[in-house]
A and B are shown apart, each in its own frame.
Chain A
Amino acid sequence: MSDTSASILAFDGVKFAYDRSLPEVIHGVSFDLAPGSFTVIVGASGSGKSTILRLAIGLDTPTKGTIALHERTRMIFQSGALLPWASVLDNVLIGFTGLSLAPAEQKKRALARLEELGIAHLANAYPRALSGGQRQRVGIARALVSEPKLLLLDEPFSALDTDTSERLAEELLSIRAKQDMTMFMVSHSIEDAVILADSVFVFKDGVITHTVPISLPHPRRRDDPLVVKLVRQIKALLPGE
């Protein structure tokens, strides 16, 4: 993996297999994310789309091809991935790793971010005491405190109820409007993809088969006929979904 200042995230002919004895799950993926864009990759469950994120962040290594990633990249996980033994504040403070910032300033910024997400009153609580939505907000705060240039999101709404996930989706869009940030999300929900993204990658059989640009203005409503039409079009590209 390399880091270039020009690319936010670029895959070039990336192939991947979990083991040399196993078949490839990624067959040659190439893309280059535009700065400030919101791209969602959709595909069937178990198709390997989350592997794209793991490759991007360096958790897995491609068997072939190259990946260029901006060094200020953070990630939001499906489960929240909070440390149960650390308070909400301490979980968020992990987000400052690698930044030379005084502890008092870190705490101030972390609390401000929690305030923005409406959970500052939970700063001293432990993850066990939080609801699914609150945990995901802590995960978002942890990812955003360092003001990353690229935010990777791995199915961030899949464990949440519809109301909570819609609220969080709105909050993500508002954060993106305020910050100069590129977002790259993996989702099994085509509706979420159409509501949020500027561009949707359709991932099937280990390759990106289609790129669907979404130029509808925000805010988008799920019952908007244009949204419904786009969802139907993308579903048609993913038979079985």
Chain B
Amino acid sequence: MRKREIHYYSHRGRRKHPSSVVYHLGSLVLPLALVVLASFAAFGVVLAPAELVRTSSHLLAALGLSLLRLFGAYLLALVVGIPLGLLAEANRHVEAALLPVFDVLESMPVLAFFPVIIVFFVHAGWLEGAALFIIFFSMVWNIAFSTVGGLKVIPEDVKAVGKVFGLSPLARLTRITLPALFPPLVTGSILSLADGWNVLIVAEALHAYAPASAGASDLFGIGSILVSSSTQANTPELLTAMGMLVLVIAVINLFVWQPLLARAEQFKFE
């Protein structure tokens, strides 16, 4: 019987690396070990099990809420980013008009506008919207540019198949274009989520950005807890939150991105 090989897939450089279960577990264990070592070096403490249990349930709820925020913004980025990419590639005149706009928007330091965004959403009575919007804005350009890049590498012959065989525009989109976009969108999603995690911390710790007059308080989530526990010198909570964050990112890599990257190999043109 042929031995089943396990590979570790990377969205950068080489498509896949020979690997084993040990390496997969390593992607979980190594980041956690680094957090423990860093905490010991920085604070001279390692968390006691009792403290871990005490802080964990509170932090798990915060982590769950942060994940909801992150994936809500990610879904929104997919819903907006893919049509934006498709629109930009609709024809070369639209592309010439839209791509410079996308380039500018992508380079925009969105945090500079965060106070205004917060005030807007406070007035709208939906503070959560400010966090969602800023996370969405940090993600959407990766999705849009992945779509544009993915459309450019579909071979002309494959694009022609839809027309030659009489597929309707909708069938062409669902049977040819979207499957062809799957590999670049997986890569774009990995980059988007990475950007999203960075912005999440700021997006939840609203007090640092909101004008005093806006009366905006922090949103409950792992990001705001990281900031508050740090400023309050609550070391056990800070270290547990950091550990949880690293763990959940590693778990997402292992159980979401790895299978999707492996599946994306089947969708690539040679």
Contacts and interface: CB of A to CB of B under 8 A. Distances in A.
A59 B155 CA distance: 14
A84 B267 CA distance: 6
B179 A97 contact: no
B157 A59 contact: no
Nearest to B265: A128
Interface string B40-68: 00000000000000000000000000000
Given A57-B163, A58-B163, A83 B155 contact: no
Contacts of B176: 83
Interface size class of chain B, counting residues whose CB lies under 8 Å from the partner chain? 20 to 34
A75 interface: yes
A211 interface: no
Contacts of A58: 163
Contacts of B269: 84
A97 B164 CA distance: 10
Contact of A85 (B160, B161, B163, B179): B179
B182 interface: yes
B15 interface: no
A21 B173 CA distance: 31
Given A79-B155, A94-B167, A97-B171, A84 B268 contact: yes
B165 A84 contact: no
B266 interface: yes
B166 interface: yes
Among B157, B266, B269, the one with the most A-chain Cβ atoms within 10 Å of its Cβ is B157
A74 B167 CA distance: 12
A75 B171 contact: no
B161 A83 contact: yes
Contacts, number: 55
A210 B208 CA distance: 79
Contact of B161 (A78, A81, A126, A128): A81
Nearest to A77: B157
Contacts of A94: 161, 165, 167, 175
B166 A98 contact: yes
A80 B160 CA distance: 11
Interface size class of chain A, counting residues whose CB lies under 8 Å from the partner chain? 20 to 34
Contacts of B266: 84-85, 126, 128
Interface in B126-184: 155, 157-158, 160-161, 163-167, 171, 175-176, 179, 182
A3 to B, nearest CB: 13
Contacts of B5: none
B167 A81 contact: no
Given A77-B157, A78-B157, A97-B171, A59 B182 contact: no
A95 interface: yes
A83 B160 contact: no
Interface in A19-37: none
Interface string A69-95: 000011101111101110000000011
A74 B270 contact: no
Among B158, B161, B179, the one with the most A-chain Cβ atoms within 10 Å of its Cβ is B161
20 contacts: A54-B160, A57-B160, A57-B163, A73-B164, A77-B160, A79-B155, A81-B160, A83-B175, A84-B266, A84-B268, A84-B270, A85-B179, A85-B182, A85-B266, A94-B165, A94-B167, A97-B165, A97-B167, A97-B171, A128-B266
Interface of A: 54, 57-59, 73-75, 77-81, 83-85, 94-95, 97-98, 126, 128, 142, 154
Interface of B: 155, 157-158, 160-161, 163-167, 171, 175-176, 179, 182, 266-270
Given A77-B161, A84-B266, 19 more contacts: A57-B163, A57-B164, A59-B160, A77-B157, A79-B157, A80-B157, A81-B155, A81-B157, A83-B158, A83-B175, A83-B176, A85-B266, A94-B167, A94-B175, A95-B165, A97-B165, A97-B166, A128-B266, A142-B165
